[in-house]
Amino acid sequence: MTQDHTNHQPQGGSCCGNKHETQPVSLSPQEKSQDKKFTDPVCGMQVSKNPEKTARFQGNAYYFCSTSCVSKFNAAPENYVKAKKVIGLSSVGNVNSDGMQSDAEGEHKDPVCGMRVNAQSQHQLVHAGQSYYFCCNSCLEKFRKDPAAWLDPARRPAPKAVVKDAIFTCPMHLEIEQVGPGTCPLCGMALEPKEASAEEDTSELDDMRRRFKFSLALSLPLLIMTMGDMLPGVSFHNLLGMTVFNWLQFILATPVVLWAGLPFFERALASFKIMHLNMFSLIGVGTATAYVFSLVALLLPGTLPAAFKMNGMAPLYFEAAAVIITLVLLGQVLELRARSQTNAAIKALLGLTPATAIRIAADGSETEIALDEVQLNDSLRIKPGAHIPVDGAVLDGHSNVDEAMLTGEPLPVSKQAGDKVSAGTINQQGSFSMRAERIGNDTLLASIINLVNQAGRSRAPIQKLADQVSGWFVPAVIAAAVLAFIAWAVWGPAPGMANGLMAAVSVLIIACPCALGLATPISVTVGIGRGARDGVLIKDAEALERLEKIDTLLIDKTGTLTEGKPTLQHFSVASGESETDLLALAMALEQRSEHPVAHAIVSYAEAQHTKPVAISNFTSITGKGVSATVDSKVVLLGNPALLQEHAIHISGFEQQVTDLQTLGHTVMLMAVNQKAIALLSVADKIKNNSGEAISQLQQQGMHIIVLTGDNAITARAVAKQLGLDDVRADLLPADKFRIVQELQAQGRVVAMAGDGINDAPALAQADVGIAMGSGTDVAMHSAHVVLVKGDLRGIVKARSLSQQAMKNIRQNLFFAFAYNFIGVPVAAGLLYPWFGILLSPMIASAAMSLSSVSVITNALRLRTAKL
């Protein structure tokens, strides 16, 4: 037993003696803060989480009791855990080695996971005289345990956390699917859960962040040490001595390359195996060449031809390999953080559904049950202030329900017997009972969650130019290196082999993607920082790129164009009446009212320091208004229909009523003893800066469409005041989502600006989602840009920043590729026959460094960009 095992006792066998299959570790946020025990997959011991005794296999983390177990696992992980096979690529109509089967054109649908399969599937089951077909044995066994739960959608539970056998897919290549997390074999990206999840697996992000911090800590001093000679009066190699200087480079770079960069080499090797080259192929070839050559030069300098040496010393490129690995790790951390925003939105949406519901039994007794125990046609009690658990209809009682998550409108909606209610909406003061009509995955809230999840997966991150050209650039560079070696060895002057080897190595080193890796992330980083100074938060490079291409802008009305809350907009009184006295009277009436606009009137009166008068005989008239008695006088306050019902003439206010209703205001009249004496109107006020922002965007040729869940009259009134004529009203979240898809199908590049939960699916689906900083957390998680101040003029600034940043990135890419396209032929010896120029690896390294300096200097100019 090794020293690492001293404090552990084996459970169920000798330590490290038996092979065990364990499930990958998946931690919830709560569990991460606890000392949870895990099973060592090699020896079976129960151990605590220890980053120093951790290994990863196919995207999963495993923990061990000792370093010896880690070594055994790393040597052959498939001996201890079950490898997960990729379903994609050649899976159509075929059975993969893990037994999974799929057929995109299959005539049957797996009732468990929904995958299409054909009649030749080896996973079949006859239930109640009917045959069912499955993609894998796991789905078949789930169905066998409880067929009714999978055949009746109403019995399926609400969305739950990701389980260990969940299907994961690549956001860039949707045809790639596998059981559990991992990386895409085509592009090397981390896979994401295919279905909505309440729990986010951050293991990939945590691992990349840990590797980045480690590599940065070693690469930074390495870079300072090797670049110090460029500064006057600084010479680390003279200070330390050449031997110590070289070995110190090796010590600092080796952990970065061999441990921190290990995932990239694995992805590069995988890309060469299937001959689908990507950015990781380029990184793998470049860094491996730089490191291996440096290692040979350090350990066996005598084996290198004299042509490789300068002043008797062979050049080392340890810092180039380490810095490239560090930069790529930074890019991975930023990308994984950006992609986690959709998961944050889904978790916020799932939080709208209560964990329990109150069921009313046949005898009238009430019992609190778990949400997944709710059955169709159950009677449920909804208490004041509670979230409604499922979709259904009101049985008895009356209340106002806040449906802002569906419509975006701030005014609660009155509900009584027969009216429909939806899961996730919030009951106000009243209590009522309801009948469950749609539960679990069939609720409207579940459909919103699925739309957000679908949009998040379908919007693949834009491949960097390095990815797009790697398919031909990598083989071209390797071919150039091989041809250079052959040409020099066969036709070159003596020593031909030495010169050929030098030319080949020079080609591979000068093509190392240091500047190419810097070109995009450094401009994005500087650009995002510049936007943040002006209150424009841009979450990822994709949004920064697409902003300049936007030609259609969809804008939610409530909370985006308007303030998002109803306020008293107009208060006029009949001649001879006291405005102060009537406001006090209106305040007294509305303080007792449950009407949605009552709060706006009371808030206005409180702001005027008004004191309510004493009233009696208060009565609420459903759907019309209220009445009361003041000093033996009968007072009415409500909509025009209420006064007309009491035969009260409103001729003195008739024109005002018409004009204000045309503007979308909710109009109320006050009457005392059968005489109309005051008019009050409540509306959601247009933001002061909305008009200016709309005008600027229209001048840029932007087509603007107003989307709202509000009624058409109010929507058109607001749009008309802003000079907009394309209005879509009475929309549900799925309608907004569909409109975005339709416009994208027409070839338009669409931005969506909104602030509410009902905007989340459209924000996620749009090419660029823009959320107001004053809006809901769900909207901000779903969007790609957040306007901190809620000022629409931020969209104009964001577009300007995008145009300047993309111009800067194109300039950087030009610098990066110019050095490669010029340097590679020179390094291969193309100029030697005419000018006698043969580029040494050391000069190649200097050229590579110069390209990086050019890129960095150019990107820093964005800090002073004028928006």
Question: CA 287, CA 153: separation in Å to the nearest integer?
Answer: 52
Write the DSSP symbol of residue 730: S
Question: CA 420, CA 390: separation in Å to the nearest integer?
Answer: 11
Residue 556 appears among annotated catalytic residues: yes
How many other CB atoms are there within 10 angstroms of residue 453's CB atom?
24
Question: CA 238, CA 298: separation in Å to the nearest integer?
Answer: 18
Distances (CA, A) of 813 to 71, 145, 434, 466, 511: 41, 57, 61, 9, 14
Q: Two tokens at 580?
A: 């102060």
Question: CA 382, CA 398: separation in Å to the nearest integer?
Answer: 11
With CA atoms as reference, report the closest residue to 507 among 493, 491, 487.
487
- b/e sequence 478-512, b meaning 16+ C-beta within 10 Å: bebbeebbebbbeebeeeeebbbbbbbbbbbbbbb
Question: CA 246, CA 659: separation in Å to the nearest integer?
Answer: 83
Query: Which residue spans within 543-673 are E strands per DSSP?
Result: 552-556, 562-573, 616-621, 625-630, 633-638, 666-672
Q: Two tokens at 370?
A: 């778990």
Q: What are phi and psi of 714, to 5 degrees?
A: -65, -45
> Strand 768-772 to strand 785-787: parallel, antiparallel, or no bridges (unpaired)?
parallel
Secondary structure (DSSP) of 254-303: HHIIIIITHHHHHHHHHHHHTT---HHHHHHHHHHHHHHHHHHHHH-GGG
Question: CA 154, CA 246: separation in Å to the nearest integer?
Answer: 69
Angle at 535 between CA 530 and CA 537, to 5 degrees: 70
DSSP H or E stretch at residue 56: strand 54-57
With CA atoms as reference, report the closest residue to 668 among 655, 682, 654, 658.
682
Q: Are 328 and 517 in contact (CB under 8 A)?
A: yes
With CA atoms as reference, report the closest residue to 178 among 339, 333, 60, 40.
60
Query: Which residue spans within 110-266 are E strands per DSSP?
Result: 116-117, 123-127, 130-134, 167-169, 177-179, 192-193
Q: Two tokens at 675?
A: 């005489």
Q: Are 401 and 409 in contact (CB under 8 A)?
A: no
Question: CA 414, CA 432: separation in Å to the nearest integer?
Answer: 12
Write the DSSP symbol of residue 649: -
Secondary structure (DSSP) of 162-194: PPTT-EEE-SS-TT-EEESS-B-TTT-PBPEES
Q: Count the helix, strand and coil residues of the chain and give each as a percent rounded to the nearest 5.
A: 50, 20, 35
Return the residue matching tokens 């809350």: 565
Return the residue matching tokens 């001729």: 651
Active-site entry in 207, 467, 540, 556: 556
Q: What is the three-state SS of 1-42? A: CCHHHCCCCCCCCCCCCCCCCCCCECCCHHHHCCCCEEECCC
Q: Are 667 and 640 in contact (CB under 8 A)?
A: yes
One-letter identity of residue 266: E
Question: CA 111, CA 146: separation in Å to the nearest integer?
Answer: 12
Question: CA 742, CA 747: separation in Å to the nearest integer?
Answer: 9
Active site residues: 556
